[in-house]
Amino acid sequence: MTQKKNVTFDDIAKYTNFSKTTISRYFNNPDSLTLKNQEIIAQALIDLDYKENKVARILANGKTEFIGIIIPNLILHYYSEMLSQILATYEKFGYKFLVFAGNEQEETERRYIQELLAYKIEGLIILSHTIPSDELAELPIPIVAIEREDKHICSVNSDNYSGGWQAAGLLHRQNCDMLLHINSPSAPSVPAYGRIQGFLDYCKGHQLKHQLILREMNSAHESIQAHLTETLTEIEQNYKGLRKGIFISNDTQANVLLNLLFRKYGRLPEDILLVGFDNSPVSREAVIPISTVGQQIDKLAYEAVSLLVEQMNERKKRRPAPLTEPVHKIIPTVLYERDTTASLANLLHSSTFLF
Amino acid sequence: MTQKKNVTFDDIAKYTNFSKTTISRYFNNPDSLTLKNQEIIAQALIDLDYKENKVARILANGKTEFIGIIIPNLILHYYSEMLSQILATYEKFGYKFLVFAGNEQEETERRYIQELLAYKIEGLIILSHTIPSDELAELPIPIVAIEREDKHICSVNSDNYSGGWQAAGLLHRQNCDMLLHINSPSAPSVPAYGRIQGFLDYCKGHQLKHQLILREMNSAHESIQAHLTETLTEIEQNYKGLRKGIFISNDTQANVLLNLLFRKYGRLPEDILLVGFDNSPVSREAVIPISTVGQQIDKLAYEAVSLLVEQMNERKKRRPAPLTEPVHKIIPTVLYERDTTASLANLLHSSTFLF
């Protein structure tokens, strides 16, 4: 490897016969030069093989072009897909992402945020649940939350309430006698709580038999599997002979439940219908495609970065007008009807059904 | 949000009655001060609520503590798990990661690497396949590759050859009459090629009937599913009545193949055995747990960061002794025997088998 001497402003000035001040203006305020002079300097940079030192530029103009991301984990397919979509906005906005998977360790997340601030990140996207939003609102940079408690900070969330309503509606249309919703206990301040409320309101409004099953599950596969094995046994015992419509809080869990049923019956029994949430890749890649309430992950990611960039740009203005109230954007959910709610497909799979 | 005035070295000097030079030494060479004086300054930083400006420090000592990561995508479970494990090394080494998912766009990756260099990253971990290693070796920073062509750069790879050998050995022990290996066409310079060679050498050495099926598949689920549907039809037609042992190049594909079989038969037929590669989460979360040749993703990630940090530290020495030859570390693979090669389980699942 050859370590060439760095090309300096002096070198560029000598090569172009401009002053060092002119070269400096090219980097910090290019539009103050004529287009012709800009072109001459740009060509000189190529000729001299000039390597830009962004760190030096940051000191000059304060723009690091860094955004921090704090995500709970990359195990849930929803999160790895979301991260993928956020990273893809590099092509559109040019921001670079410093990524941290917090694994729900509140103190580690706090320490990491302090590190990110020391690196002069311009903004933060946060998906993890640990640090309350009133604390986050005190940080000296713009923040956008995705699908977490967001009372005091800007956020982009799915329309969770409509999502819960859509799921219950689909199971109702497919003639389920008993509607069940499996979720983790969550506070009404968390956006995902809307799924529970939407489901309950639909069932009550349509006078449907229903049950809400709340169980604390962590993101480890073994924990989800153990809990859902128990839950499934209870459901099958309690509602024998009924056509059961199960709405479960995410596709990762829907996939585990579907696999448990396939291991037991070799198929999805005709008296169980299943709807997940997220439309994360696992819903299409499951043993049979899972019906799901789709979060538009690409749109959530894009809108989150976009909302953040708006605020970061605002702060760069000579007279910034920061937001007085946090902005909350809502992205519609999209219902995907697939094989786990297709009653005809259920019947055709059934070995006991006779025409 | 309150924007406090930044605390300067001047402020700290006044507060502690030390000189500015002493304060500066505290940040850049703390061990040149007595422990007592270090403690006095540390306490002053707390009292004054001093916020470290790492960008300024970088200019002073050239250490950004940034590592760049270029990963092909986050769709393959292997990659999202690897990224997760790399990010987790923050706790051990303190390095921050700038992450980019290149989606096999060679020119975008080149542009991104130039951006990373402008940000003075100290090292680069690369998993994407697009840019040849001789070009990467010319970059002025240490680089470690994971599971990609690595002739001219350091790397950490799984023992792919042993892995292929282990997979064939397992299928052989389980009395398969016909061994098949499904993979993408790849050059012998890519580490994963070792899986093919290990499989072939085992089959030839043991005089087993075998076939190598090479198909170009991209990482999109629909493409994998379409290709494997065709491949499965061919295999079932060509080897009727034989006990078929299929070794497939990764767990994501193994999962698709297993799901195709469950959709068709409601179970894994007793004349098909299946081994994947990677031990990525999907292998445990599949409809039945998939036997797999495990890559020790946590070890690969740790060793890659560790090897990179060693070289980054070497460069900070007064008289650095850079590597004269790239180092290639090999991590053993671990065989996981699960339900897709458990012949007894196969038989018990079978509806045609009678005791």
- Report percent pLDDT > 90 for chain A: 63
pLDDT of residue B179: 98
**Domain at B66-156+300-330: CATH architecture:** 3-Layer(aba) Sandwich (3.40)
Q: Is the dihedral of CA A338, A343, A346, A348 positive or negative?
A: negative
Q: Look up the ipTM and state it.
A: 0.76
Identity of the residue in A112, A120, A258 whose CB atom sits nearest the CB atom of B55 = A120
CB contact under 8 A, B262 and A54: no
Q: pTM of this prediction? A: 0.79
Q: How far apart are CA B330 and CA B327, in angstroms?
A: 10
Quick: pLDDT tens for B135-158.
999 999 999 999 999 999 999 999
- CATH classification number, B160-296+335-349, choose in 3.30.420.240, 3.40.50.2300, 3.40.1190.20, 3.90.960.10: 3.40.50.2300
CB contact under 8 A, B221 and A281: yes
Quick: pLDDT tens for A63-110.
778 999 999 988 888 898 999 999 999 889 989 899 988 878 898 899
Q: Which of residues 137-156 of A touch B (CB under 8 A)?
A: 137-140
Residues in A closer than 8 angstroms to B281, CB to CB, are 75, 221
Residue B267 has pLDDT above 60, yes or no: yes
**Domain at A66-154+299-327: CATH architecture:** 3-Layer(aba) Sandwich (3.40)
Residue A105 at interface with chain B, using a CB cutoff of 8 Å: no
Mean pLDDT computed over B77-99:
90
Please state the φ and ψ torsions of residue B65, each to the nearest 5 degrees: 60, 25
Quick: pLDDT tens for A162-171.
999 999 999 9
Query: Could you tell me which chain A residue has the CA closest to the CA of B70?
Result: A87
DSSP state of A95: -
Residue A108 at interface with chain B, using a CB cutoff of 8 Å: yes
Candidates B58, B80, B122, B282, partner chain A, best to mutate (most A CBs within 10 A): B80
Confidence band for A280, pLDDT divided at 50, 70 and 90: confident
Identity of the residue in B54, B73, B87 whose CB atom sits nearest the CB atom of A118 = B54
Query: Could you tell me which chain A residue has the CA closest to the CA of B284?
Result: A221
CB contact under 8 A, A287 and B263: yes
Q: Is the dihedral of CA B209, B214, B217, B223 positive or negative?
A: negative
CB contact under 8 A, B288 and A1: no
pLDDT of residue A34: 87
Token output for B54? 């790492």
Q: Kindly list the distances between the CA atom of residue A95 and the CA atoms of A87, A123, A147, in Å, as whole numbers in the listed order.
A: 9, 10, 22
Residue A90 at interface with chain B, using a CB cutoff of 8 Å: yes
Query: Could you tell me which chain A residue has the CA closest to the CA of B73?
Result: A84
Mean pLDDT computed over A302-325:
90
Candidates B225, B287, B338, partner chain A, best to mutate (most A CBs within 10 A): B287
Quick: pLDDT tens for B26-58.
876 777 888 888 889 888 888 887 766 666 666
Specify whether the CB–CB gap between B7 and B48 falls below 8 A: yes
A49's CB contacts (< 8 A; 6+ apart) are A4, A7
Task: Establish how many alpha carbons lie within 13 A of residue B219's alpha carbon, considering only the half-sphere containing its beta carbon.
Answer: 13
Can you name the residues that pair with A145 across neighbouring β-strands? A126, A155
pLDDT of residue A2: 41
Q: Which residue spans of chain B are classified as CATH 3.40.50.2300?
A: 66-156+300-330, 160-296+335-349
Identity of the residue in B58, B100, B263 whose CB atom sits nearest the CB atom of A55 = B58
Report which of residues A115 and A279 the model is more confident about: A279
Task: Establish how many alpha carbons lie within 13 A of residue B216's alpha carbon, considering only the half-sphere containing its beta carbon.
Answer: 1
Q: Which residue spans of chain A are classified as CATH 3.40.50.2300?
A: 66-154+299-327, 160-296+335-349
